[in-house]
Amino acid sequence: MLEEILKKLQATGTKLIAVSKTKPVDAILELYNRGQRIFGENRVQELVRKQGELPADIEWHFIGHMQTNKVKYIAPFIACIHSIDSLKLLKEVNKQAEKNGRTIDCLLQFHIAEEETKFGLDLDEAGGLLSSDDFFKMKNVRIRGVMGMATFTEDEGQVRREFAFLKNIFDELKNMYFPDDPGFSEISMGMSGDYEIALEEGSTMVRLGTLLFGQR
C-alpha cells in the first residue's frame, strides 16, 4: 500500500504525512523501517510519549487543534504545526521556539468545510494576522503555507470545490504577503478518503492515517 501511494505522490512531488494517532510505536517503526520519516499526531501528550520512544530523525508534524498552554511540550522537537488558527497561538509558538533556540515551521489552518465543528481561519483573519506588528516581530516561526480539511461527504464535487477554495486562499496569500518567499509553498490537504482529489487540486502534503495504518 505504501509503495503504491508513494508512486502517486511522487508524480506530483507531494509529501506524505503518515498520521499515526492512536497507533502504537511498533506500527510507526514498521513504516519507519520502510523509509517513511514524516509522521503526524493530533494530541500533545501522545506525541511527546511517542517522540521519546522512537528514532530521533523522525520529522514530527502536529495536525490537531493546539491549545496555547501545551505548545511548550512539543516546541523542543516539533518540525511543523499545521493547525495555526490564531495570532495568540502563533505568538506562543514563536515564544517557545525562541526559548529552544529553534525556528518552527507553521501552516495557517483555514475553515473550508461546511461543517461547523472544524477549526480554522478565514481569509480576513489570516490577513489581519499576517499584517500585524506582532507577526512582523516574530523571528522564530516560519509560515510555510496553508492547511484545510474538506467536508466529510460522498459528494466529490463539494470536496473538490473546497480544496480549490484552499488553493485560491494559498495563491492570494502568496501574492499579498509572500511574493518573494520561496518558503511559502505548502498546501496541506487530503486525507485517506479524499487525497486523490486533493492531489488534482494542488496539494503539496497529504495526511494519511487509515490508508496506511488501518482503521482506528
Nearer Cβ to ligand PLP, position 83 or 94?
83
Which residues in this chain contact ligand PLP in the complex, by CB under 6 A?
19, 21, 42, 63-64, 149, 191-193, 207-211
User: Is the distance from CB of 93 to CB of 119 less than 8 angstroms?
Assistant: no
Nearer Cβ to ligand PLP, position 168 or 210?
210
The minimum distance between CB 24 and ligand PLP, in angstroms, equals 16
Nearer Cβ to ligand PLP, position 156 or 181?
156
The minimum distance between CB 19 and ligand PLP, in angstroms, equals 4
The residue with its CB nearest to ligand PLP is 209
Nearer Cβ to ligand PLP, position 127 or 193?
193
The minimum distance between CB 205 and ligand PLP, in angstroms, equals 10
The minimum distance between CB 63 and ligand PLP, in angstroms, equals 4
User: For cell 483573519, what's the residue?
Assistant: 125
Nearer Cβ to ligand PLP, position 42 or 94?
42
The minimum distance between CB 161 and ligand PLP, in angstroms, equals 19
